[in-house]
Amino acid sequence: MSATDQANYQELRSRAMELSLLGSIESVLGWDERVMLPELGAPYRAEQMTMLAGKIHQSWTDPRMGELIESLAESELANDPESDSGATIRELKKDYDRRKKLPEALVKELTRLSVLGQQAWQKARETNNWNQFSPFLAQIVEKKREEAQAIGYEECPYDALLDEYEPGEKTSQVAAVLAGLKEDLVPFIQQIADSGKQTPVEILSRYYPAAVQESFGKEAANAIGFDFQRGRLDETAHPFCSGMGPNDCRITTRYNPNFFNEAFFGILHEAGHGLYDQGLRADEYGLPLGSAVSLGIHESQSRMWENFVGRSLAFWKHFYPAAQLAFPEALGNVKLESFYFAINAVEPSLIRVEADEATYNLHILVRFELEQALINDGLSVADLPQAWNSKYESYLGLTPPSDTLGVLQDIHWSGGAIGYFTTYSLGNLYAAQFFEQADREIGPLQEQFAAGVFQPLKEWLQTKIHQQGRRYSAAQLVEKVTGKPLSHQALMRHLHTKLDPLYDLN
């Protein structure tokens, strides 16, 4: 290869590295906004983040970036799209092309709206006051519609938004996979409801002191391999995980002293995201080969540790004695089998983040359909609460008694994240397919979990998924790792294996 190509490639890498440094500063501000910011600090924070977003956008769309990318895309370094240089150039070109289509004013306006929108949403949710939030959401939806038009699409505007979170996926492909899931899931959930089995869920709403939940949750996160020397756990109203550098991963949770699941499974979930972040290539951190491939794959990691590991009987064979010691009042007299049934109980409910593994996907379908209606079909924000309630009635058989328990429950739309929810269900499907494959290659995993051994699974995921970065698309990665394209079959097998015995189904 020519010396010019080599020099251009180094320049592109160092520019991209600088952009990811700026992006990590954005993450620090975002973490602080959601964990530490006093209420009245929001407008100034919005100014800070808007300014930074503008600077980042300017650097991305600098004509020199375009020159470098165009010339490298034609060079020998890009010949093999799966080589280190080929994948790096290909992915940076994709990022650049997307950025280039967005006007700076739109980027800044969306950043500003997302900080102010989140603050307005938080208050609206606390006080059940939809009207306090709806004017912000109306503006956000309007801007997201503009964004979709600016980016462009083949089939529908929603494709352009989905692509930000699940690159390469089309609305129609996702809709087809989720339709298959729905077809098998809805009658299965009905069968469970018809079984008449009483679930011992009362166990979970006993008293679990918050401080003990924190230490117990940290112990579990540590056991599965989350490195607290390279990360930390803090408290927030709306849990998330944010990577800020190769050795700085922040996870957050919230504690409810009268509900065990929320913090414990929340911590395992975020720690699962954290393991992905901590498992990325340090030498490429922030560049395509040291970044996560998609949010769906990210969510597959969190879901795997939360549900496939954390809600397994084997996991609790190991952890239950420690849980009984930590929470003697709540669990001292409860048998392992009852506790296991309680944490796996299936019951339609109003709140997505508290939903069980089976009904969870119905919550996502509601949002997936509403988002398409908002972006593709012109559903007005004013009509959203009504549309939300009627979908909950038809999918889950429940009508939210308030907007707080309905359309106001999630943070996403307030932050401009439209197209994001879908990745949660994709994550469940990816997780099931990866987990089956891991069990085939390095299992039986259940025996390892029962002995408190989680290292082999963590390392398998790191090698097969985390260290690949964005070398392959999510769809290619699934095929490479499991030998099959994504489908809902593995998830249904997982649910049947777990739930049929608990509910005495054939």
The CA angle 123-125-126, to the nearest 5 degrees, is 65
Tell me if residue 285 falls in helix, strand or coil. Answer: strand
The distance of closest approach from Cβ of residue 302 to Co ion in the complex, given in angstroms and rounded to an integer, is 4
The distance of closest approach from Cβ of residue 100 to Co ion in the complex, given in angstroms and rounded to an integer, is 30
Determine the Cα–Cα distance for residues 294 and 286; give it in Å rounded to an integer: 14
Q: How far apart are the first and last CA of the chain?
A: 64
The distance of closest approach from Cβ of residue 273 to Co ion in the complex, given in angstroms and rounded to an integer, is 6
- DSSP bridge pairs for 249: 231, 243
Our CB check for Co ion shows the closer of 236 and 376 to be 236
Residue nearest to Co ion (CB): 302
The distance of closest approach from Cβ of residue 182 to Co ion in the complex, given in angstroms and rounded to an integer, is 21
Our CB check for Co ion shows the closer of 86 and 217 to be 217
DSSP output for 374-395 = HHHS---GGGHHHHHHHHHHHH
The distance of closest approach from Cβ of residue 157 to Co ion in the complex, given in angstroms and rounded to an integer, is 25
Our CB check for Co ion shows the closer of 19 and 221 to be 221
147, 270, 284, 299: which one is catalytic? 270
Our CB check for Co ion shows the closer of 188 and 308 to be 308
Determine the Cα–Cα distance for residues 371 and 265; give it in Å rounded to an integer: 27
Q: Which two tokens stand for residue 111?
A: 């950043």
Q: Which amino acid is at 244?
A: M
Q: For 232-243, b where at least 16 C-beta lie within 10 A, e where not — what string?
A: ebeeeebbbbbb
Determine the Cα–Cα distance for residues 338 and 306; give it in Å rounded to an integer: 19
Our CB check for Co ion shows the closer of 204 and 292 to be 292
Bond preceding residue 444 cis, omega within 30 of 0: yes
Bond preceding residue 209 cis, omega within 30 of 0: no
Our CB check for Co ion shows the closer of 50 and 422 to be 422
Whether 270 sits among the annotated catalytic residues: the reply is yes
The distance of closest approach from Cβ of residue 360 to Co ion in the complex, given in angstroms and rounded to an integer, is 12
**Order of strands, sheet of 248-253, starting from the edge strand that comes earlier in the sequence:** 231-235, 248-253, 241-245
Query: Are the C-beta atoms of residues 441 and 435 closer than 8 Å to each other?
Result: no
Q: How many residues does the chain have?
A: 506
Q: Which amino acid is at 200?
A: P
Locus of tokens 């397994």: 312
Chain residues that interact with Co ion, rule: CB under 5 A: 299, 302
243: phi then psi, degrees, rounded to nearest 5: -90, 130
Listed residue (163, 49, 20) closest to 101, CA to CA: 163
Our CB check for Co ion shows the closer of 169 and 299 to be 299
The distance of closest approach from Cβ of residue 480 to Co ion in the complex, given in angstroms and rounded to an integer, is 23
What is the set of active-site residues?
270
